[in-house]
Amino acid sequence: MSIESILNKMSEKQDSYELTIPVTWGQGRTAFGGISAAVCFQAAQNLIVDQRTPRSFHCNFIGPVTCGEPLKVTAEILRTGKNVTQIVASVLQNDRVCVMAQICFGISRGSILHKPDTTKHALTVPKKGNFLPQIPKLVPKFIQHFELAVEKGSLSLGKSDDPVLHGWSKLKHPPAQMTYACLIAVMDAWPPTMYQMKRIPAPASTMSWDVEFIAPIDDLNGEEWIASVNEARHIEDGYGHEESTFWAPDGRVLAYSRQVVAIFA
């Protein structure tokens, strides 16, 4: 089942949404964090009734989400002002909160201040992605829904002591028009950069994820590649702090990302 098929079940505003995430979206003992985050975002966005766009997204992964079992997604407006709306959204399963997100939507306003991020990357648009074999207990099932093209770094164990991943990502079965919920999933498709530093498999789990949206995506085609530069800024005491920048195909900075990852190695 594609991500669009899952999100289509949330196409209309409701008090809550009853969903089941297919096992093909699994990541170890839980569902892929990007799909859990995406449904939280979609529930929140459904509460927006004007032209406010997402400015920031903070997500805590509290407990595992079991694929193939029913779950509930809820969203609530904490406050709406003249310019900004703050919303909290949650994924619940078996009466337990598994994922919680806080999303900030803001209206575009005229301002005398203007300093856009013009940072460029040096990546070359790929013709195709890397071959990612489905190896049980090593390669997560959800990766079958994505294309990844690595230009610097490695997706394999023990290949580098430099925790960086530069490359491109996109959905294998994308919507015709990119949505913010789909973009969230695409941004989370990359594994933690420190995986390539490990010599043997070991579990890891994202604890929290922050995204700041920089540019609108109204003209973004779902089939286009998204460029990214990902690196671990600090790894110590079993935790890694990862930062990423994402670009649209035309070179615009789309978003900044920061994750705190628990690594058991």
What DSSP letter does each residue of 8-51 carry, written as one string?
A: HTT-S--SEEEEE--GGGEETTEE-HHHHHHHHHHHHHTT--SS
Answer whether CATH 2.40.160.210 is correct for domain 3-108+116-263.
Answer: yes
CA distances (Å), origin 20, targets 14, 59, 121: 16, 20, 38
Report the mean per-residue pLDDT for the chain: 94
* Confidence band, pLDDT 50/70/90 cuts, at residue 134: confident
Q: Bigger pLDDT: 135 or 11?
A: 11
pLDDT tens digits for 231-257? 999 999 999 999 999 999 999 999 999
Contact at 8 Å (CB) between 87 and 76?
A: yes
- What is the model's pLDDT at position 156? 83
- What is the model's pLDDT at position 204? 87
CB-based contacts of 217: which residues, under 8 Å, 6+ apart?
178, 179, 180, 183, 248, 254
Pick the closest to residue 35 from 146, 155, 115 (CA basis): 146
Span 62-86, average pLDDT: 97
* Confidence band, pLDDT 50/70/90 cuts, at residue 75: very high
Sequence length of the chain is: 265
- What is the model's pLDDT at position 215? 93
Span 18-36, average pLDDT: 96
Query: 25 — phi, psi (to 5°)?
Result: -100, 20
Pick the closest to residue 120 from 247, 10, 231 (CA basis): 247
Contact at 8 Å (CB) between 62 and 100?
A: yes
- What is the model's pLDDT at position 202? 82
pLDDT more than 70, % of the chain:
100
Pick the closest to residue 181 from 12, 10, 41 (CA basis): 41
CB-based contacts of 112: which residues, under 8 Å, 6+ apart?
none
- What is the model's pLDDT at position 158? 73
Question: How far apart are the C-alpha atoms of 184 and 83, rounded to whole Å?
Answer: 23
Q: Is the pLDDT of residue 183 over 90?
A: yes
- What is the model's pLDDT at position 139? 85
AA letter at 174: P
